[in-house]
Amino acid sequence: MVQERHSLKLAAALGAALLLGGCFTSAPRPSQPGAPAPGPPAASLPSIPPAPGAPAPPAPAPVPRSPPPVRENHLSPATRALVTQAQTLSAHGDIDGASSTLDRALRIEPNNPLLWIELGRLRLTESEAHQAEGCGRKALALASGDRGAQRQAGRLLADALRAQQRNQEARDVESQPFMK
């Protein structure tokens, strides 16, 4: 019993030591022997106002913003073949076959805006403007960073809105920066 109590105390002490040991960090060591330890970071030092009549220090230069990453979407060889097949089927009047072929392509690459644009164009030929609008909005959301795909999705969306007699909304889409 005494040994059991002693083991529990030892385990509790070891656990507390491990717990507290993780809370503390050691001070950084100087890089060279005999070198002074680094002081507090510059941001924590108090600022000293300039002497009266002295010129004010220059303002820090603005950090230039990098442009958003430029991306270009492409179709994989499999989806490219399916899109070509769908376009051929559509040209021969087989809209149902073209639609199911594009659905297969979308199962392969569901986040490719180019496929959503293609499906939206097909929906417009079927006079399904509401579905074409949905495809255009989906393509636009997926096309971030790809100016070409954004423009194509914007054109699809504007055409779908015009087909629904929503001309002002179509003009609003066409006035967006990605359309220029």
- CATH code of 172's domain: 1.25.40.10
* Beta carbons of 90 and 101 less than 8 angstroms apart: no
Residue 166 lies in a domain: yes
Percent of the chain with pLDDT over 70: 64
Q: With a cut of 60, say whether residue 42 has pLDDT above it.
A: no
Residue 128 lies in a domain: yes
Q: With a cut of 70, say whether residue 142 has pLDDT above it.
A: yes
Name the domain count of the chain: 1
Amino acid 27: pLDDT: 47
3: pLDDT confidence band, cut at 50, 70 and 90?
A: low
Q: Which residue has the tokens 């070409």?
A: 148
Residue 107 lies in a domain: yes
Q: What is the 3-state secondary structure (H, E, C) of 86-127?
A: HHHHHHCCCHHHHHHHHHHHHHHCCCCHHHHHHHHHHHHHCC
Q: For 55-84, what is the mean pLDDT?
A: 80
Residue 123 lies in a domain: yes
Question: Residue 115 belongs to what domain range?
Answer: 77-179
Q: For 32-40, what is the mean pLDDT?
A: 53
Q: For 52-56, what is the mean pLDDT?
A: 67
* Beta carbons of 74 and 109 less than 8 angstroms apart: no
Q: Is 72 left (phi over 0), alpha (psi -120 to 50) or beta?
A: beta
Amino acid 71: pLDDT: 79
